[in-house]
Amino acid sequence: MKTGRRRKKQPSEQKPPETSPAKADPHRPTSPSLAPVGRKKPTNLKNKLLPIILFAFFALVVAALICATCSGPRVEPAQYVPANAEGSWTASIRVLVPQTATAERFRSDCEADPACTILPGTCALRERIDDFSEEQVDEYDDFAYEIYYEETEGKLYEAQGNDFAATQLNQDEDWWDDELHHVAEEWLDEETCQYTQYTTWITDPDDTDYEIEVVLSQCEVWDHVTVYRKVFEQGESCQVEIVEGMSIIESLSQQGSGPTVNWPAASIPADGESEREFKGTVIFRAEGNSYTASTNDEHTYQQYLTVQYYLALDANGNVLRLTDNAP
The residue type found at 73 is P
The CA distance from 47 to 320, in Å, is 53
How much is the pLDDT for 6?
Answer: 79
- Could you give the C-alpha distances from 232 to 49, 140, 227, 229, in angstroms and in order? 72, 25, 16, 10
The CA distance from 83 to 101, in Å, is 56
pLDDT at 291 over 60: yes
- Please compute the mean of the pLDDT values over residues 165-182 and round it to a whole number: 92
Give tens-digit pLDDT for 73-96. 566 787 999 999 999 999 999 999
Q: What DSSP string runs through 191-215? A: EEEEEEEEEEEEE-TT-TTEEEEEE
How much is the pLDDT for 162?
Answer: 82
The closest alpha carbon to 146, from 114, 188, 200, belongs to 188
The closest alpha carbon to 148, from 97, 203, 112, 200, belongs to 200
The residue type found at 118 is I
**What is the domain partition of the chain in residue ranges?**
79-97+247-323, 129-231
Give tens-digit pLDDT for 302-316. 999 999 999 999 988
Give tens-digit pLDDT for 221-263. 999 999 999 888 899 999 999 999 999 999 999 999 999 999 9
- Residues counted in the chain: 327
The residue type found at 8 is K
Which is more confident, 60 or 3?
60
Give tens-digit pLDDT for 192-229. 999 999 999 999 888 888 999 999 999 999 999 999 99
pLDDT at 287 over 60: yes
Q: What is the DSSP letter of 316?
A: T
Q: Percent of the chain at pLDDT above 70?
A: 85
Please state the pTM of the whole predicted model: 0.45
Q: Percent of the chain at pLDDT above 90?
A: 63
What's the farthest any 2 CA atoms get from each other in the chain? 124
The CA distance from 32 to 14, in Å, is 39
Q: How confident is the model at residue 24 (pLDDT cuts 50, 70, 90)?
A: very low
